[in-house]
Structure 1
Amino acid sequence: MTCRPSFPSCLKGTGGTPIVRLFASALAAGALLTTTACSDGDGGGGGDSGASDVAASSAAEKSPTASPRAARQTPTPTASGRLTAAGAQAALVTEADLEDDWTQVRDAAAWSDTLLIGTVDVADFLTAKADAADCQKLLDALYDDDLLGEPSGASALRGFQQDDSRLLHQVAAYDRAALDASLAWLKSLPVKCDQFTATNAAGEQRTVQVTETSVPQTGDARQGLHVTVQGTAAGAPATLTLDVAAVRVGSDALTVTTGGLDGDEDDSFERAVTRGTQRLTDVLAGRTPTANPAAFD
């Protein structure tokens, strides 16, 4: 698949298999990840700091940093309702939005996980061969951090790490018809791809299961997936667990992916979706989003 213009070019693995940036967790030995995420230099809070890992589709202006009073009075650069690079950046959640012990990292765009590299076994689909293509598309889209397809305008992403779990938040502008089609496609996957196998270049098999997961009632439309991948990593059995949500707000959308080898991050997943949707809504209305930890009390 083709990488989004806002990201570095795709890496290639053995046999031409695309190895793309995917959010996931590393084993303690570090063998699972191809790229190690570094913590922010300032060591915490302020996900809008100069050390932001945001990858935007064009050079992004910095959103204003001010007191809460000034922030309420200062409009974002997206007051027209059209998502700009600066607006996409401002719509991303921060450490304060997430609470817990999440730490923003610099290079979330380079995250990757070998458990998600493989070719779908078409033999699993005895009566619906076309479904195999959808399941391969799902894996490829996860590789590319591209579940909703190519953005039509501004895009940005930000990643966080907590122990061996990770959280990736993306915001982008899309063509409305294509966005609706992508959400409908996601909705079909728990039926088409409920369970299948994928094999990597070394002949190692992974068992993949896809089910629907609940998403907070936010935005104009939404869809959630729960994906598990069972295989081996560093010679030991391993299970990668991911929760993915896509939420449409007008013609723009956000995606949130959480999980890792430690299992689910349900609370943080819901917080990121709820706060991410509110931040995007604020940006499109010309308001400057602020963190709201009190919403989780």
Structure 2
Amino acid sequence: MISMTSLTDAIRPRGLRLTLIAAGLIAAGGCAAFGLRQPATAPQPLPTIDRPTPPPKAPARPDGSTLTDAQAQAALITQTDLGAPWTATGGAAHWRDGLLKATTSAGECQRLLDTLYTDELLGGPARVVIALDDDDHNAQLRYQIAARRPSDVDAALSWLKTMPDRCARFTATTQTRTQEDIKVTDTSLPQVGDARQGLRVSIDATTSDNEKYQLTLEVAAVRVGQDAFALTDGGLGDVANSTTQAAVQDGALRLADVRRQGRAQV
């Protein structure tokens, strides 16, 4: 006859085994609840969540810019930004050939004159450009997005910074023998972008018939990250620095906005 003690001892191990099995099932369920990886032998592995694929970067142009052609065009300021009396240009300003196409023996100052005449402040042709006229003051503003590597832009900016010292005052002669007395100084710019430089160039010209003209140019060049823009605001008589500052401020904001929209669309 089996005693109650023996029966209890026989049942206890089986109960313990059931308890351990149940604990194992609970542990497996806990692993699933916390998203832990099941053993490779699991008949139905849990699904995994892949990491989001980072957005592809826009391919860089040889000049380092990340702007598309359409974005570069959209980054130009317009007559709406400057307001009246600025309008779409009617063509190259007549004073460009008459007063900027000149020669000098003052070393680096010839390079400055050539740069002003060709409108290549950043050392190369513009990628896109817009010209606006102020007929009230016989003035023209040319604004361009550069097609230059950042290192080339910085080199051009460094050279422009030397002009108020190296070419503070010099003389030049045009093709029509007009004599010019030229002064170069720094001009004030808003603190925008990563690097910038502005110049004010005053040209007092006297023709062979003793007629006198005064041409004033305000120029600015700004690098914003991988991209850069430049402008020249010139006119007979005086030109307002406020126009230069407004164009630089608006240009930097527009360029930043175009870059931000480009990243959002990727």
Residue of structure 2 equivalent to 1:118:
102
Alignment of 1:110-259 (within 5 A): 112-122=96-106, 132=107, 134-150=108-124, 155-162=127-134, 163=136, 164-232=138-206, 235=209, 236-259=211-234
Deviation of the 1:234 alpha carbon: 9.1
Pick the aligned partner of 1:275 from 243, 250, 265: 250
Deviation of the 1:113 alpha carbon: 3.3
Distance 1:217 1:232, change over 3 A: same
3-state SS of paired residue (1:245)? strand
RMSD: 2.5
Give the structure-2-normalised TM-score.
Answer: 0.68
Residue of structure 2 equivalent to 1:286:
261
3-state SS of paired residue (1:210)? strand
Pick the aligned partner of 2:85 from 101, 107, 111: 101
Paired letter, 1:246: A
Residue of structure 1 equivalent to 2:50:
none
Q: Indicate the percent of aligned positions where both proteins have the same amino acid.
A: 45
Q: After superposing the two structures, state which structure 1 stretch, 139-148 or 253-262, moved more.
A: 253-262
3-state SS of paired residue (1:174)? coil
Distance 1:180 1:92, change over 3 A: same
Partners of 1:110 and 1:238 lie apart in 2 by: 13
Residue of structure 2 equivalent to 1:260:
235
Pick the aligned partner of 1:90 from 60, 71, 74: 74
Partners of 1:231 and 1:114 lie apart in 2 by: 10
Deviation of the 1:268 alpha carbon: 1.8
Paired letter, 1:114: G
Q: Which has the higher contact order (CA 8 A, sep 6+)?
A: 1
Deviation of the 1:159 alpha carbon: 1.0
Partners of 1:165 and 1:276 lie apart in 2 by: 19
Deviation of the 1:86 alpha carbon: 1.4
Deviation of the 1:203 alpha carbon: 3.2
CA contact (8 A) 1:79 1:283 kept: no
3-state SS of paired residue (2:76)? coil
3-state SS of paired residue (2:163)? helix
Deviation of the 1:88 alpha carbon: 1.5
Paired letter, 2:221: A
Partners of 1:158 and 1:109 lie apart in 2 by: 13
Give the structure-1-normalised TM-score.
Answer: 0.62
CA contact (8 A) 1:79 1:284 kept: no
3-state SS of paired residue (1:278)? helix
Distance 1:174 1:275, change over 3 A: same
3-state SS of paired residue (1:286)? helix
Aligned length: 199
